[in-house]
Amino acid sequence: MKIHSTSYPYASQRNAVYSTNGMVATSQPLASQAGLRILQQGGNAVDAAIAMAAALTVVEPTSNGIGGDAFALVWIKDKLHGLNASGLSPQAISADKVRAAGESEMPTYGWTPVTVPGAPSAWAALNERWGQLSLLECLTPAIEYAENGYPLSPTLAKNWGKAAVKFAKLKRESEQGEVFDEWLKIFTSNGRAPELGDVWRSPDHAVTLRAIGETNAKAFYQGELAKKMAEASKQAGGYLAYEDLAEHQVEWVEPVKTDYRGYDVWEIPPNGQGMIALMALNIMKQFDAVKHNDAENMHKQIEAMKLAFADGLHYITDERDMKVSTESLLCDQYAAQRAALITCYAQQHCPGEPKASGTVYLATADNQGNMVSFIQSNYMGFGSGVVVPGTGIGLQNRGHTFSLDETHVNYLQPRKRTYHTIIPGFISQGGKAVGPFGVMGGFMQPQGHMQVAMNLIDFELNPQSALDAPRWQWLKGNQVTVEQEMPAHIVQSLQAFGHDVTIAPDRGSFGRGQAILRDPDSQVLVGGTESRTDGAVVGY
């Protein structure tokens, strides 16, 4: 991997960033500054990741919050560690109860899709295991942003405005519209969202972050904050209870990988959908080395991703409830069987039968060799639209991905983890770290992971070029959308291969990524950030 290569310049390309002492990258410049500040204060890559994650709940509430979930891949002392901080469904919920309430499928908004938030527990667990600064020190930049305010950046303002319109409409039209009152109170003023350049403050958010920092998140799960969440849920007829929060635990997991052309590409195991990216890469490595901007190669990528999604959506759920093992899904023999199904024409694929057995992403690296790939989300932008009064805690709607169909692998049950879209990625080679990478954006995430990984490994693009490259997105059936920057001959050829291709009017649905790689010889860090949002990569 030629991490210094600039072999394919894109019109939107920024320059890759180089440094030696440390580097951070995420979708908001102020959050990146928070991470850099922590590194310069003596923190390590883990401390910087925590600081950025907390800051993002303040400076990008359109994509994540204190009430969301988180996953992390952490490279420490030549070993990769995995953290699953996704929460369980409440003990009191069941598919029968949801159906009895008049729902034919899991609701998108309100209290019903709320699961136990895991993000604060991720911060505390990472800090306890590897942090060099206290949790409160790591959260201080976020607290200051919440107390003092910050001006909205362009993409943030655009998404905030859309959310304000949506939740105002939900309040007017929903039978339980009052559930959105606190969201409208906190995130709008007289019904108007803050606009580009407006300064927004969130004092309740600051108080909550301080309580989390001072108690190592115990206030959130077993203290006053937990009581406030449980009481708000009870008053609104929700299912989340104090006991659900008090019993929450993070899970340290063994990351899963595939060997892709001499590099190990790593993901978190289920309940996350990172397996889909690995399965698609496994299929692609069945073919000879591929060419960049080659229509036949892109056709194979799309078909590989469709095959991986067919299996992933059929099998992936809480790992304790999966019908097949992760090993069987990642088996080379099974990948060869799936690759053999790819022809010269687009197809709609069914699940195979292997042998039984709205999100923020950040990356950090320090001068000790530590690197972190971290992702957290409320799902669907602001999540459920529920904000707990007096706390600034916006709760996720992650439970929306549960099914009320008892034959479905992701059938709603009490105390179960749902299929999760958010996935951190990592690349290593020969037992040495290459670096963290990730692409946000719902079901675009494994598609973005595969495309960025191939850009880095197959096409030897540097991190910034790999992120800037035009992307495709499979939607359903044979429907594919591509960015306007995609070369015209590629679009025409994909149509000839049988894909129903549309050109997207903007780049908003194609994910937002970050990447930091380390040169194995010089130890120089090379980073890229997303040109599709307000991102920043900074080093020193």
Q: How confident is the prediction for the chain on average, in pLDDT?
A: 92
442 is in an annotated binding site: yes
Q: Does the residue 266 lie in any domain? A: yes
Let me know whether 155 and 297 are in one domain. no
Q: Does the residue 217 lie in any domain? A: yes
Q: Does the residue 204 lie in any domain? A: yes
Let me know whether 133 and 232 are in one domain. yes
Average pLDDT over residues 125-130: 98
Number of domains in the chain: 2
* Residue of higher predicted confidence among 58 and 317: 58
In 3D space, the residue among 67, 303, 293, 42 whose CA is nearest the CA of residue 183 turns out to be 67
Let me know whether 351 and 260 are in one domain. yes
Catalytic residue among 359, 364, 529, 533: 359
Average pLDDT over residues 63-70: 95
pTM of the predicted model as reported, rounded to 2 decimal places: 0.93
In 3D space, the residue among 281, 207, 217, 239 whose CA is nearest the CA of residue 70 turns out to be 217
| pLDDT of residue 35 exceeding 60 | yes
Answer yes or no: are the C-beta atoms of 272 and 71 closer than 8 Å: yes
Q: How many alpha carbons lie under 13 Å from residue 372 in its C-beta half-sphere?
A: 35
The reported pLDDT for the residue numbered 12 is 52
Q: Quick: pLDDT tens for 135-169.
A: 999 999 999 999 999 999 999 999 999 999 999 99
Q: Does the residue 540 lie in any domain? A: no
CATH number at residue 286: 3.60.20.40
Q: Does the residue 146 lie in any domain? A: yes
Let me know whether 154 and 237 are in one domain. yes
* Residue of higher predicted confidence among 525 and 441: 525
Let me know whether 268 and 241 are in one domain. no
Q: Does the residue 6 lie in any domain? A: no
Cβ-in-10-Å burial (0-12, 13-18, 19+) of 91 comes to middle
Angstrom distance (rounded) from CA 198 to CA 201 = 10
Let me know whether 393 and 473 are in one domain. no
Q: Does the residue 410 lie in any domain? A: no
Q: Quick: pLDDT tens for 288-315.
A: 877 787 899 999 999 999 999 999 888 8
Let me know whether 370 and 461 are in one domain. no
| pLDDT of residue 214 exceeding 80 | yes
Let me know whether 30 and 138 are in one domain. yes
Let me know whether 180 and 201 are in one domain. yes
Q: Catalytic residue at 401?
A: no
The residue among 371, 401, 431 that closes a domain is 401
- The separation between the first and the last C-alpha atoms of the chain, rounded to the nearest angstrom, is 23
Let me know whether 275 and 389 are in one domain. no
How does residue 357 score in pLDDT terms, banded at 50, 70 and 90? very low
Q: Quick: pLDDT tens for 487-513.
A: 999 999 999 999 999 999 888 789 889
Q: Does the residue 287 lie in any domain? A: yes
Cβ-in-10-Å burial (0-12, 13-18, 19+) of 329 comes to buried
Let me know whether 126 and 234 are in one domain. yes
Percent of the chain with pLDDT over 90: 81
Domain that holds residue 21: 17-249+363-401
Let me know whether 287 and 317 are in one domain. yes
The reported pLDDT for the residue numbered 356 is 41
DSSP symbols for 223-277: SHHHHHHHHHHHHHT-S--HHHHHT---EEE--EEEEETTEEEEEPPTTBTHHHH
